[in-house]
A and B are shown apart, each in its own frame.
Chain A
Amino acid sequence: MRVLAAMSGGVDSAVAAARAVDAGHDVTGVHLALSAKPGTLRTGARGCCTVEDAHDARRAADLMGIPFYVWDFAERFTEDVVEDFVAEYAAGRTPNPCLRCNERIKFEALLDKAVALGFDAVCTGHYARLSTVDGRVELRRSADDGKDQSYVLASLTAEQLSRAMFPLGGSTKASVREEAAARGLGVAEKPDSHDICFIPDGDTQKFLGDRLGEQPGLLVDDSTGAVLGRHTGVHGFTVGQRKGLGIDAPAPDGRPRYVLSLEPVSGTVRVGAAEQLAVSEIVATTPAWPSGVPLGDGPVECVAQVRAHGGTAPAVAELVGDEVRVHLREALRGVAPGQAVALYRPDAERGDLVLASATITGTA
């Protein structure tokens, strides 16, 4: 196959590309320039589109002897990921930019371009297992539980996944690093990227504040309706947040208070006790079916996951119209509108199968 390997400059995508070469594919490496003004120095271990990252990707491609190019996706990335991220926060929701990037950039903008240019597949260093069974795509969790990235891939359609290649799905991160070192890749010891690549200093609140400015509102006790304080914008909060609420007076019962909900129009942030955070009913819309098959009729037993790492619970899900209704058999905390809920069918042997992903619009 003709394979386009997306190479971030990190160890995972480098090993993934090398494995694709070993598998006999005709591989071309591409580094996506996602920042209009790439940093000139690696900022900690976090940056993911600096000049150094492009350099690291190029050197990895050199070692494999494959053609390598840098493609400019900065405009698409800014519009589809960064602006979306800011707009979602402004609307009181909690977006996942990695998921959005997979959905709109890597497996839409890049994949479409790759296919048009004659490539058969896009290869990335994601930790998720992908196979085709009876002509149908199956997306499963990685063999490395700690690194599993199926959650941020779960909103891809079967069509997108049919042209994806994840050579690292069956490996652990540790073994990938060892392999990188054995292959002589200079990025073998490069630290993992964390957080959000376009916020290299990790200060999300400042990033949002710079873009959204001050939009003052009230902090309100959800139970009593009492005004507890003022804030400079709902984008400074996420559901489940405890620290930095700026409340002077302690709660009457002396227990910590958490953000329960955000109301962007009125600017109200509702806070309450920990148990009020517990969510057992989720409503989500715009479902994606990674295997190409919608949830069957009636309730489906599954495991629900509400964030990239952790946050799983046994659940019963049902498709009603174009909404997915999920009843969690064990309550989860910190479930916020804007996040995705991914549904899995447990499979200890081959990896949990991804059934669906949908965007959370309501919780109870």
Chain B
Amino acid sequence: MTYLDHAATTPMLPQAVAAMTEALSTLGNASSLHTSGRRARRAVEEAREDIADALGARPSEVVFTGGGTESDNLAVKGVFWARRQADPRRRRVLASAVEHHAVLDAVQWLADQDGAEVTWLETDHHGRVHPDALREAVERDPGSVALVTAMWANNEVGTVNPVADLAAVAAEHGIPFHTDAVQAVGAVPVGFAASGASGLTLTGHKVGGPYGVGVLLLARDVPATPLLHGGGQERDVRSGTLDVPAVVGLAAAVRTAVVEQPVRAVELAALRDELIGSVRAVVPDAVLNGDPERRLPGNAHLTFPGCEGDSLLMLLDARGIECSTGSACTAGVAQPSHVLLAMGVEPALARGSLRFSLGHTSTRQDVLDLAGAIGPVVERARTAGLAGMRRSGRTSLSFETEV
């Protein structure tokens, strides 16, 4: 099997498996006051310190959650509610148009259900959010902005945002800035304090840790209303008995991924460039999406004009090569990506795109496997794409003129 979908999930690092395995057979609720409880609590606090240390944050800023989606929801809704409660004029949410659904849908929910006014920050054709665009949106009425959220790196096309510059714009007006760094941690250098962000989301299974655990780094001075009420275990911002083995596994993964990041990034970027080069050698009209320079080292997002992504995916899958078409709804239907649409890509072209993402277990053989398969796969998918075109000519396919 050739696994080229590390951005969906990446194998657990051996260090994380070892740490988690040991913790799984250790008794203790981290909130209990007795010896077992204190032992569990100690493991949690050491994990908290390790994560803070690895990401340039203070331990008290580490809030453990059930994963990236919960962290994003807590940051978006929790900060919005708290800021609006402090000042009812703060009803605006500024969010980039290319956010992951965990942010996108949380923001949209606030707009639909809770009176938020949303400004979707436009991106350039690489999917990059510009500080000027943010400044323009903020300065329309700074006093009415509850929060700003813009991802560190895009999960689909891999474009890395100028997070520090964006955070600085928000900071000028004392507005909290949240960034979804799920794809960034372990892939590019991430420093919480240095970035100037007041909230940062990360999740376990994208950095070689376990599923179902994540972190919201939340600056001490940023108020957030809880989503989950109960024991108040995490700074009273998040309740629920901590999953000690998962927390310990997450910390081991973050520590390892951050230490190895500089070397890994160089290796992966070289492998990725080889992947892009070898695919384009066989399919010359394949288009690389996202910023060619400022992108995640493991991300190659390509459009294959005239093809449908689901055809490509199935044909590659049949040859043992696994990749992604982008976002999928609950029924598993491939929808044209909102990221590509926001970048100005034609819907028909957007549907003909694949994301190949490399990670810590990727090898040159993976790239060679893809290079050997992609030619006939694209040729076949292109025939199928033409077969799928409407005979009446009502099709919206326009690749012949667009590329």
A interface residues, Cβ below 8 angstroms from B: 28, 31, 33, 38, 40, 51, 54, 58, 67, 69-72, 74, 76, 79, 109, 112-113, 115-118
In the complex, the answer to whether B386 meets A116 with C-beta atoms within 8 Å is yes
Instruction: Identify A79's interface contact among B335, B383, B394, CB under 8 A.
Output: B394
Chain A's nearest CB lies how many Å from the CB of B348?
A: 11
Instruction: Identify B314's interface contact among A28, A33, A112, CB under 8 A.
Output: A28
Task: Indicate whether B381 reaches chain A with its CB closer than 8 angstroms.
Answer: yes
In the complex, the answer to whether A116 meets B331 with C-beta atoms within 8 Å is no
* Nearest-CB residue, chain B, relative to A69: B314
Residues of B within 8 A of A115 (CB): 387
In the complex, the answer to whether A70 meets B390 with C-beta atoms within 8 Å is no
Instruction: Identify A112's interface contact among B310, B318, B335, B387, CB under 8 A.
Output: B387
| 29 A-B pairs in the complex with CB atoms less than 8 angstroms apart | A28-B314, A28-B318, A33-B333, A51-B331, A67-B314, A67-B317, A69-B314, A70-B331, A70-B332, A71-B310, A72-B335, A74-B333, A76-B390, A79-B390, A79-B394, A109-B388, A112-B384, A112-B387, A112-B388, A113-B311, A116-B380, A116-B384, A116-B386, A116-B388, A117-B380, A117-B381, A117-B384, A118-B315, A118-B380
Task: Indicate whether B330 reaches chain A with its CB closer than 8 angstroms.
Answer: yes
In the assembled complex, the Cα of A40 lies from the Cα of B330 at a distance in Å of: 9
* Nearest-CB residue, chain A, relative to B332: A70
Which residues of B, 207-230, contact A by the 8 Å Cβ criterion? none
Which residues of B, 327-366, contact A by the 8 Å Cβ criterion? 330-335
In the assembled complex, the Cα of A31 lies from the Cα of B314 at a distance in Å of: 13
In the assembled complex, the Cα of A67 lies from the Cα of B313 at a distance in Å of: 12
| Shortest Cβ-Cβ A-B pairs, 9 listed | A116-B384, A112-B387, A70-B332, A116-B387, A116-B383, A33-B333, A72-B333, A54-B331, A117-B384
Q: How many residues of B contact A (CB 8 A)?
A: 22
Chain B's nearest CB lies how many Å from the CB of A253?
A: 49
In the assembled complex, the Cα of A71 lies from the Cα of B388 at a distance in Å of: 12
* Nearest-CB residue, chain B, relative to A110: B388
Instruction: Identify B333's interface contact among A28, A70, A113, A116, CB under 8 A.
Output: A70
Chain B's nearest CB lies how many Å from the CB of A157?
A: 14
* Nearest-CB residue, chain B, relative to A4: B314
In the assembled complex, the Cα of A40 lies from the Cα of B317 at a distance in Å of: 28
Residues of B within 8 A of A76 (CB): 388, 390
In the assembled complex, the Cα of A292 lies from the Cα of B227 at a distance in Å of: 65
Chain B's nearest CB lies how many Å from the CB of A42?
A: 13
In the assembled complex, the Cα of A76 lies from the Cα of B317 at a distance in Å of: 25
Instruction: Identify B331's interface contact among A38, A112, A113, CB under 8 A.
Output: A38
The 8 A CB mask of B252-277 against A (1 = contact, 0 = none) is: 00000000000000000000000000
In the assembled complex, the Cα of A28 lies from the Cα of B311 at a distance in Å of: 13
Residues of A within 8 A of B331 (CB): 33, 38, 51, 54, 70
Residues of A within 8 A of B334 (CB): 72
Chain B's nearest CB lies how many Å from the CB of A37?
A: 10
Instruction: Identify A54's interface contact among B313, B332, B390, CB under 8 A.
Output: B332
In the complex, the answer to whether B380 meets A51 with C-beta atoms within 8 Å is no
In the assembled complex, the Cα of A116 lies from the Cα of B388 at a distance in Å of: 9
The 8 A CB mask of B364-403 against A (1 = contact, 0 = none) is: 0000000000000000110110111010001000000000
* Nearest-CB residue, chain B, relative to A36: B333
Chain A's nearest CB lies how many Å from the CB of B77?
A: 22
Q: With a 10 A CB-CB cut-off, give which of A33, A38, A69, A117 has the most chain B CB atoms.
A: A117
Chain A's nearest CB lies how many Å from the CB of B287?
A: 22
Known contacts A28-B318, A116-B380; 19 additional CB pairs below 8 A are A28-B314, A33-B331, A54-B331, A58-B332, A69-B310, A71-B310, A71-B333, A72-B310, A72-B335, A76-B388, A76-B390, A79-B394, A112-B384, A112-B387, A113-B387, A116-B386, A116-B388, A117-B315, A117-B384
